[in-house]
């Protein structure tokens, strides 16, 4: 039974912004050199042990899984950088191996862990900035460069002091050098040609940079969506130039319906924020068009747009159809605002049955919800590029 304590837990929206988005110094060189994490060595060792045997004994469906993006797919890259946007402390990881926090913004595994497993590669996709050096099998089967709090808008990673998408791409080029040194040029070439490259970002641009911080107040919904499309499509093209040939691009979900955005922008009844979702829909439509143009421009590259908006919206509106009873609050604390450092083992109790909850904190789904989403993504989209 999980600990459940009744306690006063009043957190203002201004405190949430101050804590999560206060700028700190985090240079690109410091990010690349980061090797210290508050994750315990025991947790890191446990994660490494889990990866020694893939959940699938069949031949892997891809050479590797390479991931870029934000907290949805960050397995712990933020642990060792100078940012407040972290999840390497309890109750995060409450249902992970040995109940240890790893830096995943979840109670357990995240979507890329499930995708790596279904591809037959390994059970857990590690962070590139792992606190322990990755061994050769783990290195050559893929890593995540994702950083919680980042986005396509260049302002977003600056506001949160996290790793930008261009810096993640620079880390990927460094990674390829390590692969060549460990396994040769042929293996690096195989990863580029047969690896699955996944990109998942944009939600923090909409929720944090645009609506919460009002950092782009001179843009209306449509023009901000176009700005994001411009930067996102440029990143995809840069990734193609770096050698990627099988690219999966994940669209923005109905971000206006996550608990924190309901609380801050959904009125007294905490409904979905229409504005957030309008930007998401416009952005997704723009990326569909951009990816179609890129397919014509690069006929040797497989590009797929993974539309998760409708599926997640249905989960949020009809949670019982997916095995949940609560979809408007997170399991951590009050479930209204707690995320990252505000979801902690000191001030935040957790719900009795996390299996009833679609969301772990006020922004990120639970492991159970991620598993459902990952299966949807794999069955409908990943299979198109393997």
Q: Containing H/E element for 196?
A: strand 196-200
Please report the DSSP string for 79-143 in residue order. GGSS-S----STTTTTTSGGG---S-SSSS--HHHHHHHHTTS-S-PPBTT-SSPPPHHHHHT--
Please report the DSSP string for 217-282 in residue order. TT--HHHHHHHHHHHHHHHHHHHHHTT--EEEEEPP--GGGSHHHHHHHSTTTT---HHHHHHHHH
Q: Is the pLDDT of residue 29 over 90?
A: no
Band of the pLDDT at 57, cuts 50, 70, 90?
A: low
| Residue tagged active-site, from 71, 147, 164, 233 | 71
Q: Is the pLDDT of residue 75 over 90?
A: yes
Q: What is the mean pLDDT of residues 53-69?
A: 80
Q: What is the mean pLDDT of residues 144-173?
A: 98
Query: Is 364 designated active site?
Result: yes
DSSP 314: H
| Residue tagged active-site, from 113, 161, 361, 362 | 361
Query: Is 361 designated active site?
Result: yes
> What is the rounded end-to-end Cα distance, in angstroms, of the chain?
42
Q: Is the pLDDT of residue 20 over 80?
A: no
Q: Which has the higher per-residue pLDDT, 56 or 282? A: 282
Find the angle CA(15)-CA(71)-CA(328) to the nearest 5 degrees.
Answer: 65
- Enter the tokens of residue 337: 């605002």
194-246 tens-digit pLDDT: 999 999 999 999 999 999 999 999 999 999 999 999 999 999 999 999 999 99
Band of the pLDDT at 58, cuts 50, 70, 90?
A: confident
- Enter the tokens of residue 3: 């600990």
336-371 tens-digit pLDDT: 999 999 999 999 999 999 999 999 999 999 999 999
Q: Domain extents for the chain?
A: 64-384
Beta-bridged to residue 66, according to DSSP, are 197
Find the angle CA(350)-CA(355)-CA(358) to the nearest 5 degrees.
Answer: 85
Q: Is the pLDDT of residue 268 over 90?
A: yes
Band of the pLDDT at 51, cuts 50, 70, 90?
A: low
Q: Is the pLDDT of residue 1 over 80?
A: no
Q: Which range has the worst mean pLDDT, 7-11, 113-117, 278-282?
A: 7-11
Q: What is the mean pLDDT of residues 60-73?
A: 98
CB 114 within 8 A of CB 73: no
Give the model's pLDDT for residue 35. 33
pTM of the model: 0.87
Query: Is 71 designated active site?
Result: yes
Q: Which has the higher per-residue pLDDT, 271 or 51? A: 271
What is the CATH topology of the domain spanning 64-384? Rossmann fold (3.40.50)
- Mean pLDDT for all residues in the chain: 89
CB 209 within 8 A of CB 159: yes
| Residue tagged active-site, from 221, 231, 276, 364 | 364
């Amino acid at each position: 039974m999980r600990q459940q304590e009744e306690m006063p837990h009043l957190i203002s929206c201004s405190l949430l912004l101050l804590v999560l988005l206060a700028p700190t110094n985090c240079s690109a060189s410091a990010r690349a050199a980061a090797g210290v994490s508050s994750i315990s060595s025991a947790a890191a060792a446990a994660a490494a042990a889990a990866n020694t045997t893939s959940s699938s004994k069949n031949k892997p469906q891809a050479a590797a899984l390479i991931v870029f993006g934000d907290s949805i797919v960050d397995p712990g890259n933020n642990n060792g950088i100078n940012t407040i946007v972290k999840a390497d402390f309890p109750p995060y990881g409450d249902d992970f191996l040995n109940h240890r926090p790893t830096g995943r913004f979840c109670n357990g595994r995240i979507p890329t862990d499930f995708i790596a497993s279904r591809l037959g590669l390994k059970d857990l996709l590690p962070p590139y900035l792992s606190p322990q050096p990755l061994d050769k099998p783990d290195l050559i089967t893929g890593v995540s460069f994702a950083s919680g709090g980042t986005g396509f808008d260049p302002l977003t990673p600056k506001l949160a002091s996290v790793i930008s998408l261009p810096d993640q791409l620079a880390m990927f080029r460094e990674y390829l050098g390590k692969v060549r040194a460990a396994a040769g040029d042929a293996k690096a070439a195989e990863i580029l040609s047969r690896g699955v490259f996944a990109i998942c970002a944009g939600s923090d641009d909409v929720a944090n940079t645009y609506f919460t911080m009002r950092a782009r107040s001179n843009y209306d919904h449509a023009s901000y969506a176009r700005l994001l499309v411009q930067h996102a499509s440029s990143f995809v093209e840069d990734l193609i130039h770096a050698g990627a040939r099988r690219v999966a691009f994940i669209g923005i979900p109905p971000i206006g319906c996550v608990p924190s955005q309901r609380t801050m922008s959904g009125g007294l009844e905490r409904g979905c924020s229409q504005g957030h979702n309008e930007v998401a829909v416009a952005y997704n439509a723009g990326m569909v068009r951009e990816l179609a143009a890129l397919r014509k421009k690069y006929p040797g590259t497989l590009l797929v747009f993974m539309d998760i908006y409708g599926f997640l919206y249905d989960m949020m509106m009809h949670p019982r159809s997916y095995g949940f009873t609560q979809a408007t609050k997170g399991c951590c604390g009050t479930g209204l605002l707690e995320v990252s450092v505000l979801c902690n083992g000191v001030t935040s109790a957790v719900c009795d049955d996390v299996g009833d909850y679609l969301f772990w904190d006020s922004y990120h789904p639970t492991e159970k919800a991620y598993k459902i989403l990952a299966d949807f993504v794999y069955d409908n989209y990943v299979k198109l590029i393997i």
